[in-house]
Structure 1
């Protein structure tokens, strides 16, 4: 039997998640929770999302604490169906973990938690990252062809939302990096000004004095600059930004 076409409803539901006033981790968690609900029915399905970026695997969202633990094991061992789905861009199904010979270290952990079958489906999130969803069940052969089709349909829709959420997170990281850099520059410039006044020297000479002191004391330039400006102004300087 073909899986019912619920893509329109899923898109609307996932878009609503993205539009709500959540931070990015909350959005990704909601996507994992909705994914687990799609396949749960009268049983419990666990779901997690693993992202690989800059050669590092990170568990970015899960539907439960147990799913978090299982995905962290997988990322730690650097082996498992989710990572295989990322690498091959294909669906990986493990109908009975008791007889699975691949990923031996990770499979030992899965068996120890009483989980019996796994489904991993790749997500399309961009050219610089790869990601996949893991579904875990306590039943043997829990994922039929119909349920695999449902999972694939969900991930096709969810991929767009995950990609948007990750892009938002990347922009936020870039903005924070710029803010820190500007604050660092402000602190150093103030310290240079203080040194110029105290030593009656040029800006270039003050910069060299600051760098030399930083090297001799083996502390970062910004840390030394903060010490100088705090000693004079009794508080650390701050950079003002337009809202």
Structure 2
């Protein structure tokens, strides 16, 4: 049936797959995901993605309004809420009515003050240093059902893939940059002191150990001495 929610989801997923297959900024992909949430789960009044780092650092991205940022800030401040639970522990966290919700009393009161009565959150990923969740909010109670959970799970998977791919790319670029710095430093040492490749690297390693400094930082210092 062409007008069914499943058909709409399949069409939207195909569109997202095409955008993922071409190089794009991760912020743009995540904005597509939250826009798709608003399209495919019409009971949603606002959606956003919470990214958690160390030392209570957090960031709200791809918000469809400022409401997700306000609610994320409230959760981080009170250290409780469905988005935090989803990011750190649970796969899916649903709250049908914050007026009677007992799991997060401080957060629930704040959500009701802001006119939000329902919430639905999906884990994106959790690592040793960071975590993330896709979060949906509604001004009506009991706004989300099993179908909303199914659609949200699929969209959350796309968001997670975009974030993790972006971070892997950043790590690769960092690794390539580090390798290039060490290579340049070795070349300078080889030319300056008449050493071979192995001896030049051993000098860098010993300088790193003696000064208790990361190898890449020592390499950059060697590069900085070029021409002096």
Do both share a fold (TM > 0.5)? yes
User: 2:88 matched to 1:92?
Assistant: no
Point out the more displaced range, 118-127 or 182-191.
Answer: 118-127
Looking at structure 2, the residues matched to 217 and 163 of structure 1 have their Cα atoms a distance apart, in angstroms, of: 35
Judged with a 3 Å threshold, the aligned counterparts in structure 2 of structure 1 residues 93 and 13 are, in CA distance, closer, same or farther, namely: same
User: 2:4 matched to 1:8?
Assistant: no
SS of residue in 2 equivalent to 1:136: strand
1:96-152 deviations in Å (ceiling 9; x for gaps): x3444433443454345x23313224357699997543222334x151xxx423421
Judged with a 3 Å threshold, the aligned counterparts in structure 2 of structure 1 residues 51 and 75 are, in CA distance, closer, same or farther, namely: same
SS of residue in 1 equivalent to 2:84: helix
Contact 1:85-1:91 within 8 A present in 2 as well: yes
User: 2:211 matched to 1:215?
Assistant: yes
Residue of structure 1 aligned with 2:179, choices 162, 179, 182: 182
1:152-188 deviations in Å (ceiling 9; x for gaps): 1311331442343234224312321221221221232
Aligned match of 2:165:
168
SS of residue in 2 equivalent to 1:62: coil
Judged with a 3 Å threshold, the aligned counterparts in structure 2 of structure 1 residues 36 and 196 are, in CA distance, closer, same or farther, namely: same
Alignment of 1:1-243 (within 5 A): 5-20=4-19, 21=22, 22-40=24-42, 45-50=45-50, 59=60, 61-75=62-76, 77-86=78-87, 87-95=89-97, 97-112=98-113, 114-123=114-123, 132-139=133-140, 141=141, 143=143, 147-196=144-193, 203=199, 207=203, 211=207, 215=211, 220-229=217-226, 231=227
Judged with a 3 Å threshold, the aligned counterparts in structure 2 of structure 1 residues 108 and 227 are, in CA distance, closer, same or farther, namely: farther
Unaligned runs of 5+ in 2: none
Which entry has the higher C-alpha Rg, 1 or 2?
1
Contact 1:35-1:151 within 8 A present in 2 as well: no
Aligned match of 1:238:
none
Cα RMSD between the aligned structures?
Answer: 4.2
